[in-house]
Each structure stands twice: as C-alpha cells, then as structure tokens.
Amino acid sequence: MTLRQIDTIEELRAILDRERRREATIGFVPTMGFLHDGHASLMRAANAANDLVVASIFVNPLQFGANEDLASYPRDLERDTEIAADAGVDLLFVPSVDEMYPHGAVSTSVRVDELARRWEGATRPTHFAGMATVVTKLFWIVGACRAYFGEKDFQQLAIIRRFVADLSIPVEVIGCPIARAEDGLALSSRNTYLEPAERQAATVLSRTLEAAATAIEKGERDPIVVAELMAAMVATEPLARLDYAACVDPATLDVPERIDAPCRLLIAAQVGRPRLIDNLGVSCE
C-alpha cells in the first residue's frame, strides 16, 4: 500500500475498522513529528510484525508547559512523510489541534501520579498528564493494535504501560531499543537545537550511563553511590548542567535500597538550549 495521509478521526476509524474485519493486524507509532531514525526504527519494527502500519504526527499542546517550546517545536511534514513511507508506514494520521480537541479546552485528563511525580515529572509537572491524555485518545481512535514506543523516554513508557493495564485498553505496548548516533548520543528531535560544541558535549550523558553501568557490573550495589558517580562525571563537562541522575527500579521508578535486581539508570541535563534525557538498563548479575 502506498502511504496515505489521513486528517480526520472519522476517516481513520473507518479504514481501520474495515481492515480489522479482514483480520488484519495493526501496528501503531504515535509521534510528534520531525522524524529521525529513532522514529523510523519503530515504524520498521511495526512493519515487520503487522499487516498495516499507522503512524500519527501531532504536536500535542497539552504536553508543553508555559515556558516550553510549543511554538518553536520543529516541524517538517514533507520530510516526515518521506521517512514514514520509506519505513513502511501505510497510513499517516496528521490531525489538526481542532480535530483532536474540537471543544478547545480539554476538561478530561489521564494521570498516573504514582509514576509521574518524580524525575521528568518534577521538572515538567504538566507533561505526563498531557501525554497520557493524548495517547489514550489516540489509542481509542486507532483501536486494538500493537503500539511501538522508544525506550529513550523510559518514564513515559512505564506510564503508558500502567494506564493501558489500568484502563483495559486493547493495545499491546511494545518498547523498542534506543536509537543512537555513532558517538552514543540518543537520537532526539531536540538535538537539532545543539550548537556544534554542545553536540559534542552532549555525549557526556551516554558516557556517564556507560560508566555507571560498569561500576554496577563490577560490584557497586549502592544506588546513591552510583548516582553520585554520575553527577560527578557530568560535572566535568562545562556545557552540561545536570537535572537528575538516578538508579531506579524499572517497574516502579523508585530508588531501591540496594541494587540486587536489574535496574534502570536515568539521566537528564541541560546542554545549551535543549534539555536532554537518556537511560540505560543494567543487570547486576
């Protein structure tokens, strides 16, 4: 099938309902556009495992705080369409804000406070409610499917898995490995904001995660010591300002008393204009 752009909920639902009646399996990749190879890797994974692939591009205003970059968030629909087509997407859903929120202000919200209160939630207090609300809406628009998300936004992935389970949404959530540049930097639309010197400095995040993982693999079991090691390493990079560094339980996102099970290393830092996040899973065995 040649990629087809869909702008309305009604048309997308009609197509997908017809495909499900033919017992087609559906893969779904929700995005905010300005696609890169990380997004394309999710689309390729969906294409490999499903009969039909849907991707959405919607810059969701609910996810942006008062001082965040909604107006300047990068957009390039022509380029995005080419990337999606090359990655095997069949239907590209590109709704307007009015299509998604026809009544203007949104009075309904989906929240997972237990998982959203710290880390990214502490810095961006409205972000996860906005994300969970729009993803829930997209899931009900698309219907039963497999939905693909990158592990780079690990806290987001944990929250999505929780509300899908809590609300019995008929979606199988699939987490996919982080796509990285050759120097280790996690791919992100916000990387376009980095100046050349900042781009090089930003690799301190992935280097810090690798160093912390090595410490755990060599026997360090105190999560506070691991976090301090991470903070000290970021402090050696003058262009980076650490927001947080932590070793957490991957299911609860809490800091364990002792690292005696697989853990997730989380890190966030301001590097020039953009605020960057990264993470790494570590087995302590």
Helix (H, G, I), strand (E, B) or coil at 16: helix
With 0.85 as the threshold, say if the pTM is over it: yes
Highest mean pLDDT out of 42-56, 94-108, 123-137: 42-56
Between CA 248 and CA 256 the distance in angstroms is 6
Helices and strands counted in the chain (H then E): 11, 9
Q: How many CB atoms lie within 10 A of CB 21?
A: 8
List, for residues 136-158, the tens digit of each pLDDT value.
999 999 999 999 999 999 999 99
Q: What sign results for the dihedral spanned by CA atoms 181, 187, 191, 192?
A: positive
Q: What is the CA radius of gyration of the chain?
A: 19
Token output for 239: 């262009």
Whole-Å CA distances, 77 to 10, 32, 83, 93, 198: 21, 11, 10, 11, 27
Amino acid at 40: A
Whole-Å CA distances, 106 to 33, 50, 126, 179: 22, 33, 13, 33
Q: How many CB atoms lie within 10 A of CB 195?
A: 12
Report the topology of domain 4-176.
Rossmann fold (3.40.50)
Between CA 5 and CA 3 the distance in angstroms is 7
Active site residues: 39
Mean pLDDT within 1-9: 93
Answer with the residue of higher pLDDT: 285 or 248. 248
List, for residues 215-269, the tens digit of each pLDDT value.
999 999 999 999 999 999 999 999 999 999 999 999 999 999 999 999 999 999 9
CATH number of 189-279: 3.30.1300.10
Mean pLDDT within 1-29: 96
Is 76 in contact with 158 (CB distance < 8 Å)? Answer: no
List, for residues 105-118, the tens digit of each pLDDT value.
888 999 999 999 99
List, for residues 31-46, the tens digit of each pLDDT value.
999 999 999 999 999 9
Amino acid at 194: L
Tell me: pLDDT of 67 over 90: no
Is 234 in contact with 242 (CB distance < 8 Å)? Answer: yes
For residue 63, the 8-state DSSP code is G
Instruction: Give the pLDDT of residue 86.
Output: 97
Mean pLDDT within 125-134: 92
Mean pLDDT within 80-104: 95
Tell me: pLDDT of 66 over 70: no
Domain ranges of the chain: 4-176, 189-279
Between CA 5 and CA 216 the distance in angstroms is 47
Mean pLDDT within 77-87: 96
Provide the phi-psi class of 273: left if phi over 0, else alpha when psi is between -120 and 50, else beta.
alpha
Q: Mean pLDDT for the chain?
A: 94
Q: Which helix (H) or strand (E) holds 86?
A: helix 77-86
Tell me: pLDDT of 71 over 80: no
Instruction: Give the pLDDT of residue 68.
Output: 66
Instruction: Strand 91-93: give its sheet, edge to edge.
Output: 4-6, 91-93, 52-57, 26-31, 145-150, 171-176
Tell me: pLDDT of 130 over 80: yes
Whole-Å CA distances, 60 to 55, 138, 273: 15, 11, 21
Q: Do domains 4-176 and 189-279 have the same CATH topology?
A: no
